[in-house]
Structure 1
């Protein structure tokens, strides 16, 4: 009986180690794909590819992660406009969050502005997440995916809140540990998105 329990624990432990290894590999190739796509133009390609790759990995596809990224990324290279607009908005909101506001602005007003920018930054990421998920899982044009993304972000408010909370946790941990940000955060978020939006029904 004890041997059976030990065997189960070992199996679960090895399964956890394998999952972490897969997350690390997927995150690593996410950044590689992003850089190869010239960062601002490749955000959609990289994230959509990672969503699809994580799905293939969890389904037990034995194809090496590097090959999966190479094969799948070509499917999402036509969304440079979405990547550029999303990148611009994230940088714009980030500038207000990071750069100190003029001293002429009261502390209360500055706090409101900072909070608003953080909120818009997170909403931009959430909308981008919905659009990417739709592009991967539904046969819709980009225009319809964007409109549907807005619709789902509002209608599925509880799921939207979960995505925001997930981002806050990952950003908080990443702020304290840059290695976590590089090798785990992207794939953990992609896996979380898969779980949160898996049974999404209109």
Structure 2
């Protein structure tokens, strides 16, 4: 299968993961981040569907499930967008040294960082819904909530690392980290926000781990 044919929409899981296993970079870790977010959203939707709240919470559950379904679709779209950004990123670094290469790297790095930042922002927005399910969802599916948190953590961690790495790649054009921070303040700040999100996910997971894995508490 040709590289351009490997997408989350047109490929089976077997085909997509085979594409991920190849040394092409497209799909790569950023696209994998999007797929992990889709897994988290899918599990949130499933748990919400099994949750039978009182009448006062029915609308909350319905809205949560709708958001999760939209996020699953959007995350897969973002995964494919990252694959496109990865191809441009790799192509830029293969150019001959010079002004054209520097400009290509600068554009590709910022585009790739932006794609990862958008994905990370969407992942952060899902934390509240998983926290709600942990507290009010079907108790028999608490293990699924923990798995969803694990997938969400992978998505946030991947987005954070990719934004940081892509920004750092701008140093190959002669820019210092201080200059990069001044030139890309929003992308730079997104790394800190994603770091905070990781800490929150870890705290939430720790709170419910004993319910999901009771044998570990003995």
* TM-score, structure 1 normalization: 0.35
* TM-score, structure 2 normalization: 0.33
